[in-house]
Amino acid sequence: MIKELYDMRVRSLAILVVCLVLFFTLAPFQGKLLGLMEEYKDIVKKYAGSFPVEKLKEWNFYIYSQWFGKNLGQIIPIIGVLFAFPLFSREYENGTMEFLLVRKSRRYVFLSKTLTAIFVMTIELAFFSILPVIYSSIAGKDFESVYSYQYMVHILVGGLFWFSITLLFSTIFEDQVRPLLLSLGLIAITTVVGLIKPLRFLNTYRYILGSSIMRGEGINVSYTVFLSIMSLVFILTSYLVFKEKDI
């Protein structure tokens, strides 16, 4: 586990820094954003469409729509990909997998790498989910935190889903480029195809961005169960691929 934590230190730190920068370029500047929107209200009205711009004056709506519904939500699949893509492919590419398997069983190596990455990713995503709660408390903002925890469920499950898909690619391919590109390509394809109504379920962004939560319906239980099951299937398949792979 120590090796795995060391290997992912740069990725996890980079993700932490990027998300903190995103949050702190958003949260403290609600007033300035509203001032700019008031100054250019004719342009805003033209391009905002049906978006309830006036509600951005409310702290709760501002944070939930701009942080969860835009900034953080948009990069959750990418975070899942970044945590998973080099886990096994980098060891293949560098020729270090044989060395690892001399000392430990394939099962141990797989579980150690996978569970450590999931643990670190979960900690970071959970922190990003409660960051508005922490900030609101310090800044003296009246914040309804219950929705943060609902978003946290969507974020953790959505992140794990894309992590598990990328993990499978990482066990299959012996270079780091293909797992990364295939995963990012799959995110793009499923998002575009998911715009077609009968295939809407393929668009995980609708779930991750909390469309059901914004409508007041709470956690989307059925889709949460579906993504959780699919994540488990991909992780188990990854293990079987790694177990039988000729190294």
DSSP-derived secondary structure for 151-181? HHHHHHHHHHHHHHHHHHHHHH-SSSHHHHH
Q: Which residue has the tokens 């962004």?
A: 205
C-alpha span between 175 and 135 (Å, rounded):
41
Q: Note the pLDDT of residue 124.
A: 97
Tell me the torsion sign for CA atoms 134, 135, 138, 143: negative
Residue 34 is assigned to a structural domain of this protein: no
For the chain, which ranges sit under pLDDT 50? 44, 47, 50
Distance CA 23, CA 131 (A): 8
pLDDT at 38: 58
What's the structural domain count of the chain?
A: 1
Residue 44 belongs to some domain of the structure = no
Residues 217 and 26: their CA atoms lie apart, in Å, by 26
Does residue 28 lie within any of the structural domains?
no
pLDDT at 12: 92
pLDDT the model gives residue 103: 83
Which tokens hold the place of 90? 């980098």
Query: 């809407």: which residue's tokens?
Result: 200
CA angle, 20 as apex, 16 and 25 as ends, to 5°?
A: 155
Is 33 among the domain residues? no
Check residue 196 and report its DSSP letter.
S
Kindly state whether residue 46 falls inside one of the protein's structural domains.
no
Tens digits of residue pLDDT in 122-178: 999 999 999 999 999 998 888 888 899 999 999 999 999 999 999 999 999 989 999
Q: What's the domain range around 219? A: 2-22+55-244
CA gap 244, 247 in Å, rounded:
9
In a domain, 41, yes or no: no
Tell me if 123 is assigned to some domain.
Answer: yes
* 38 located within any domain: no
Closest by CA position to 204, among listed 193, 214, 215: 193
C-beta separation of 117 from 83 below 8 A: yes
pTM: 0.89
